[in-house]
Structure 1
Amino acid sequence: MDFASLTPLEGGWSGQTFLAEAAGERHVVRIYAEPGSRGEQAHEVDAALLRLVRGLLPVADVLEVRRGDPATGMPALLVTSLLPGERGDLVLPRLTNAEQAILGREVGALVAALGGMPQLRAGPFVDGDLRIGTFGGAEGLDDWVRLHEPALDHWSDDDRAGLLAVAEEAQELLDSVGRHCLVHSDLNPKNLLVDPTTLRITGLVDWEFAHAGHPFTDLGNVLRFDRQPAYVEAVLAAYAERHDTEPAQALHLARAADLWALVDLAARRGQNPVADQAEHLLRAVAAERDRHAWPAAG
């Protein structure tokens, strides 16, 4: 691999994904320079996940997996094919209502497919065999909120109490679902590649947060910020058809499941625009004591 040919790939916050030219072809190179939550096995886990879902979901081909070399300081690498398409977060804002519905059904079907890939229990993937580890810390959403309360000390007492009430109710609803599945955990338009002409999804990228978890986590992520009615209704309809549920109930569960991520993001406000937006949304949820709440304009 010619490192001189690497150019940063737009769209991510990590700064570890690059576009490379080799033998006249373009590939994607992820450099694991800094250990993340998966540690030294991160490149192996990411490669295994792509191989696991290949043919079931639109993901890149794994071309090379290279271990890091402590002696030379060379980091681990994952080289994959470059998928066609335009980022969904650039496509969605310019669509008409009818086009939003077309893309929404595509997204809903994709989320439903992920939600149908079973796992025996919840936890992080720890190695290239996709063995499941154990999440530390909180046992439920209420504990999760309490753990993050120091980062929300700028909130009023009423807002913090409201968030805890919403979390307790949401956890009770989540506990009614007695199974686990493969969760992408960062499934939003930024990580979807879309054919701008047909609106077919051509790629699902950035699997660094994938884990075994709750079946409604990805649906909650998809519908967190993108709430155009035509899009939301289409996503829910496609998901509900696949899993034989009612769209309204799927939305209730999705909003409940997304509270885990919203709390975590809100506690990191100031670090990036997504965290700031999440904190603004979570404060509205807490103030109204309603997990479906949306911040007032202005």
Structure 2
Amino acid sequence: MDFASLTPLEGGWSGQTFLAEAAGERHVVRIYAEPGPRGDQAHEVDAALLRLVRGLVPVADVLEVRRGDPATGMPALLVTSLLPGERGDLVLPRLDDAQLAILGREVGALAATLGAMPQLRAGPFVDGDLRIGTFGGADGLDDWVRQHEPAFAHWSDDERTGLLAVAEQAQVLLDSVGRHCLVHSDLNPKNLLVDPETLQITGLVDWEFAHAGHPFTDLGNVLRFDRQPAYVDAVLAAYGDRHDIDPTAALDLARAADLWALVDLASRHGQNPVADWAEHLLRAIANQRNHNAWLTND
């Protein structure tokens, strides 16, 4: 395949994903030029994950996996098919309540499917065999908050105390779930492809943060910022139908699980609008001492 002409895909995907044409067909090429948390095995892990879930969730076909060549400076590559559909973050704002319910059930079913793919323990995937490594650092959500406290030095003492109290309570709730599953870990509309007519999900992309983890992590990501009632209710109904859990209990666990990502994202406030929004939300959670809190108009 000739990679002489590559066009960056809209939406970013870490600035490493491009559209290529070969023999009249279009493909997606991911270039692993920058080292990430998976090191030089990132392309192998991504390819293995796509093959693992193929037929269970809508993902691209793996066409080629090419190792990097240090001698020539050629980075590793992953070539996949191009999936149809429009990015979900572009579709979602156009929908009325009835359409939000349709898409919400699609998203909830997708999150439920991922949550039903069991893993023996939590940890990062370290190679193409999807062996599970060990997360370093924090011993629980409260410790995670303590590690990120310097980023919230401009908060009041009461706000920092409130966030730690919420984290401790949330960890107790999370510990009540005694299993692990495959976690996409970036399950938001930007990484979903949607048929704008039928509102069916045609693709789930960008698996760079996928790991073995808590079953409610993806559900929490889905519902972090997109809180239209018709959408939320439909997501929870579909998830609850699959896992036989009350929607209110599922939402409580999802919000608790999302605190891990929310703390990390909020600690990068000032770097981009999403991180700033995350910090505003986390501050509301700390002030209200409730991991289910939402932003007010004050």
* TM-score bucket (shorter structure): over 0.9
Give the unaligned 5+ runs of structure 2. Answer: none
Corresponding residue SS for 1:284: helix
Corresponding residue SS for 2:202: strand
The 2-side partners of 1:127 and 1:107 are apart by 28
Query: Corresponding residue for 2:54?
Result: 54
Residue by residue over 1:267-293, the C-alpha shift from the partner in whole angstroms, topping out at 9 and shown as x without a partner, is 111222221111111111111111111
Residue by residue over 1:59-108, the C-alpha shift from the partner in whole angstroms, topping out at 9 and shown as x without a partner, is 00000000000000000000000000000011011101000000000000
Q: CA deviation at 1:296?
A: 1.8
Query: Corresponding residue for 2:175?
Result: 175
The 2-side partners of 1:212 and 1:266 are apart by 23
The 1-side partners of 2:13 and 2:42 are apart by 17
The 2-side partners of 1:279 and 1:32 are apart by 30
Query: Corresponding residue for 1:17?
Result: 17
Equivalent residues in 2 for 1:186-225, closer than 5 Å: 186-225=186-225
More divergent stretch after superposition (138-147 vs 273-282): 273-282
Query: Corresponding residue for 1:31?
Result: 31
The 1-side partners of 2:57 and 2:191 are apart by 13
Q: CA deviation at 1:154?
A: 1.2
More divergent stretch after superposition (110-119 vs 276-285): 276-285
More divergent stretch after superposition (109-118 vs 11-20): 11-20
Residue by residue over 1:227-278, the C-alpha shift from the partner in whole angstroms, topping out at 9 and shown as x without a partner, is 0000000000000000011000000000000000000001111222221111
Residue by residue over 1:89-148, the C-alpha shift from the partner in whole angstroms, topping out at 9 and shown as x without a partner, is 110111010000000000000000000000000000000000000000001000000000
Q: Please give the TM-score of this superposition, normalised by the length of structure 1.
A: 0.99
Shift in CA distance, 273/2, structure 1 to aligned 2, threshold 3 Å = farther
The 2-side partners of 1:219 and 1:38 are apart by 24
Corresponding residue SS for 1:64: strand
Amino acid at match of 2:101: A
Query: Corresponding residue for 1:138?
Result: 138
Q: Is the aligned partner of 1:285 residue 2:277?
A: no
Query: Corresponding residue for 1:100?
Result: 100
Query: Corresponding residue for 1:238?
Result: 238
The 2-side partners of 1:236 and 1:263 are apart by 23
Whether contact under 8 Å (2:13, 2:206) holds in the other structure is no
Q: Is the aligned partner of 1:117 residue 2:110?
A: no
Amino acid at match of 1:136: G
More divergent stretch after superposition (268-277 vs 241-250): 268-277
The 2-side partners of 1:270 and 1:18 are apart by 28
Residue by residue over 1:134-175, the C-alpha shift from the partner in whole angstroms, topping out at 9 and shown as x without a partner, is 000001000000000011111111111110010000000000
Amino acid at match of 1:254: A
The 1-side partners of 2:12 and 2:48 are apart by 21
Give the unaligned 5+ runs of structure 1. Answer: none
Q: CA deviation at 1:297?
A: 2.6
Corresponding residue SS for 1:262: helix
Aligned length: 298
Corresponding residue SS for 1:212: strand
The 1-side partners of 2:116 and 2:271 are apart by 34
Amino acid at match of 1:229: P
Amino acid at match of 1:112: A
Corresponding residue SS for 1:292: coil
Query: Corresponding residue for 1:150?
Result: 150
Amino acid at match of 2:157: D
The 2-side partners of 1:136 and 1:101 are apart by 39
Q: CA deviation at 1:4?
A: 2.8
Whether contact under 8 Å (2:183, 2:213) holds in the other structure is yes
Aligned-pair identity (%): 86
Query: Corresponding residue for 1:67?
Result: 67
Q: CA deviation at 1:12?
A: 2.4
Q: CA deviation at 1:13?
A: 5.2
